Structure 1
Amino acid sequence: MRLTPSILGKLVEPLNRRRFQTIVDSHDGDAYDKSFHSWDHLMVLIYAQLSGADSLRGLEAGWNANCQHHYHLGSDRLSRSTLSDANRRRPVGVFAETFEHIANQLDRHMRREGAAMLRLIDSTPIPLGKACGWAKSNGRIRGMKLHVVYDPKSDCPRVLDITDANVNDAEIGRTITLETGATYVFDKGYCHYGWWTAIAAAQAFFVTRPKSNMGLEVLSRRPIKSAQGDGFTVLEDVEVSLASKSHRKLPIPLRRLTVQRQNGDTITLVTNDLQRPAVVIAALYKGRWQIELLFRWIKQHLKIRKFLGTNDNAIRLQLFAAMIAYALLRIAARACRIAMPILRFTDLVARCLFERRNIAAIDKPPPVNPSQRKLRSSPGQMSFSYA
């Protein structure tokens, strides 16, 4: 009889065991935990994300209650003390590289044309509060930052980094590997003239908002053929450069756009793209809201508000496990051609993790077993009559 894998078993199928073991060996990930291996650790943390477990005791109880399914996951029973030790000592690089591997799978069917390569860059704070006394503060929150380079076409975070809350966004931006022909859209927090110059040198483009103290000199005005966009109007399109004393800091041609939103607010955009129409440039920046939706979804549906440990290593491991779970859900939805909204699909997965059923029909009742005999009873049985 053919085995029907559980929903959780089907979700983790894209994780190649041999490839994962190669990653573990390169980081010496199993150096300290001989019985609780990196694979066991990954399976448990993915289960914690999808099931909503937010404590070590609850995670241990829920995982061990389904021990009959562990064999097909390649894992075993869990002890919360063992998990706590692994959270403290296992190298974060194991999960970070595993996320890169899964993200590449999610994106491998996308076309690699320059016109289609849009990258949204932003960060979101991860508040940790007083429980983590080691966490640094940026003046607003005490905790960490999750930095993401997001591909809205494939709905895939392509780059993921976790830093202290006081790390400047521009520092992380400079570490990103630039892709020729890509367009990078980010806010004014990523203002760094050297990085902008590097983007132009890589034959890529950027669209951003300038800081208020950025002195720009108008060189020429460009005609606006079509000013009306979806929810905005382009008021001005000019070629500019930095003021004469600072020109050498940013020796590339620039455009400055003035855009008026529907509510009457006016924003200023700066780009090194001299070819696209102004209305297209403004639409690219408007599309930056998609990465905000990604952050909202992650915080609402993955467990990154309560953590299974209070040390730096445990929090980083849990954040990477959350993003691996996110990518696995997207891969499953795409491979099985799930038509329902991703939010409903995620809720159903959480309720059926260890059920053995077809993931493509997760929203349908399980088929009736034909071997089960129907109960025969008289139509009048158990009926009552009143005089």
Structure 2
Amino acid sequence: MDKNTLFSSFGKWVSPIFSKRFFEDLASSDHDKYVKKLTTSAYLLLFLHAHLQQREGLRAIADDALGRKFQQELGFTSISPSQLSRKHQQSHSNLLQRVFRDLVQRIRLCSLPPAMKRDFRIVDATTIPLCLHTYKWATFRETKAGVKLHFRVAFASSEDVYPERVQLTPARVHDRTQLDTLVDNPGTTYVFDRGFVDYAKFDAFCERRIFFVTRVKKKAAIRYLFDRPVSEGSSIKRDGYVQMGTQQKRMKHVLRLIETTDSQGNPLLLITNRWELSAEEISEMYRSRWAIEIFFKWLKQHVKITSFYGKSQEAVLNQVFIALIAFCLLLLAKIFSACQESLLQIYRWLRVMLWEDSRIWWERLTSKRRKPDP
């Protein structure tokens, strides 16, 4: 990567990636063994740029390398689509996953979420449909293919979330099979929808002091024990002690059941093993789950994640991690600049000022800081 990279807005944006650790990891691997042109650094720059500009295919990415300013940063003046394809297919995702984890760690250290959201994670999954003829390894149904991204997200602020962990599987894999991977930290509260309900795992969570809040399935077997008093006029209709499951497969641990309403006024039954919080706080915690839906929507609209540049599972995984790296870089820019604008606005400004002096973009971000209270 050329030293001039740090002088452009694009270079400023990608700079958190290229740490001493990144180059040490690169040197200890065989990613760039015998590579003279399309190094891993150049590959990352090209595909991060492709995500930012939402390029349609490898030919469009190859054309990006014809830009004079981009050439200075890449270290070459042209690249062929076939070279890009080989690199994308052959690169192992381990290095990209380490880059992603390093960025997540930086976000975690710099984040200032409200107290209620510090030890709070949201777990959910989103499915991306694929062509069965092209992606046979991702067979979903008889006539369909697809991949599923299982996420655990944390709050960086009162509104912004970031992906703390991700698992990619074929779409046919059930959500609850990923609970052991995504829900693993005692003392943390995990919020997830009823697709993750697994009573055996809930018993294990109770024994390990892993907290959870989830929605009850429609036909769930509930054994009511007794109710707590509920304030008159409260949105909470019921707050009680229950055992979940049929007589043959009943949970050993008693859970708390809260009955409230959703945003449309429909009944909402929640179960949790958090006893010290108020029913209103538990209800609000579950409603915060909507943040992950906004995150999914952002990914699908503003980075290249609904169609792929390669056909193999490794190529798809590489593209997913580069997309997540792009998201984390935008969030880091927001955190470091203390900008109060949305990630979408920061993304728009970056695209407009991509090859301008980095100070122009950064001054724009820092001018939008929250003003101190008088």
Q: TM-score category by the smaller chain? A: 0.7 to 0.9
CA drift of 1:17 comes to 3.6
Paired position in structure 1 for 2:152: 149
Whole-Å Cα distance in 1 between the matches of residues 143 and 330 of structure 2? 33
Whole-Å Cα distance in 2 between the matches of residues 153 and 59 of structure 1? 32
How many residues align? The count is 356
List 4+ stretches of structure 1 deviating above 4 A: 31-34, 69-77, 111-115, 138-141
Output the amino acid matched with 2:64.
Answer: G
Structure number with bigger Rg: 1
Structure 1 residue corresponding to 2:130, chosen from 125, 128, 131: 128
The 5-angstrom pairing of residues 1-387 of structure 1 reads 5-24=7-26, 28-31=30-33, 33=35, 35-66=37-68, 68-72=69-73, 77-110=78-111, 116-130=118-132, 132-134=134-136, 135-137=138-140, 142-154=145-157, 155-176=161-182, 178-225=184-231, 228=234, 233-242=235-244, 243-247=246-250, 250-358=251-359, 359-362=361-364
Output the amino acid matched with 2:352.
Answer: R
| Long gaps (5+) in structure 1 | 365-387
SS at match of 1:234: coil
Q: 1:107 to 1:59 in 2, by over 3 A?
A: same
CA drift of 1:177 comes to 5.4
Output the amino acid matched with 2:354.
Answer: L
Q: 1:16 to 1:252 in 2, by over 3 A?
A: farther
Output the amino acid matched with 1:101.
Answer: D
CA drift of 1:295 comes to 0.4
CA drift of 1:236 comes to 0.9
Output the amino acid matched with 2:268.
Answer: I
CA drift of 1:133 comes to 3.7
Query: 311-320 vs 173-182, which deviates more?
Result: 173-182
Whole-Å Cα distance in 1 between the matches of residues 241 and 94 of structure 2? 44
CA drift of 1:198 comes to 3.1
Q: Is the 8 A contact 1:95 1:320 kept in 2?
A: yes
SS at match of 1:108: helix
Q: Is the 8 A contact 1:145 1:164 kept in 2?
A: yes
Q: 1:318 to 1:262 in 2, by over 3 A?
A: closer
Output the amino acid matched with 1:144.
Answer: V
Q: In angstroms, what is the RMSD of aligned CA positions?
A: 2.7
Paired position in structure 2 for 1:376: none
Q: 1:226 to 1:60 in 2, by over 3 A?
A: farther
Q: 1:198 to 1:23 in 2, by over 3 A?
A: farther
Whole-Å Cα distance in 2 between the matches of residues 260 and 354 of structure 1? 50
Paired position in structure 2 for 1:381: none
Q: Is the 8 A contact 1:51 1:351 kept in 2?
A: no
| Long gaps (5+) in structure 2 | 367-374
Deviation track 1:152-194 (CA, whole Å, cap 9, x = no partner) reads 2442111111111111111112112522321100001111223
Output the amino acid matched with 1:107.
Answer: R
Q: Is the 8 A contact 1:40 1:75 kept in 2?
A: no
Q: Is the 8 A contact 2:64 2:70 kept in 1?
A: no
Deviation track 1:288-314 (CA, whole Å, cap 9, x = no partner) reads 111000000111111112322222222
SS at match of 2:86: helix
CA drift of 1:142 comes to 2.2
SS at match of 2:308: coil
Whole-Å Cα distance in 2 between the matches of residues 32 and 324 of structure 1? 26
Q: 1:75 to 1:252 in 2, by over 3 A?
A: farther
CA drift of 1:25 comes to 5.3
Q: TM-score, normalised by structure 2?
A: 0.86
Q: 1:344 to 1:36 in 2, by over 3 A?
A: same
Q: Is the 8 A contact 2:122 2:153 kept in 1?
A: yes
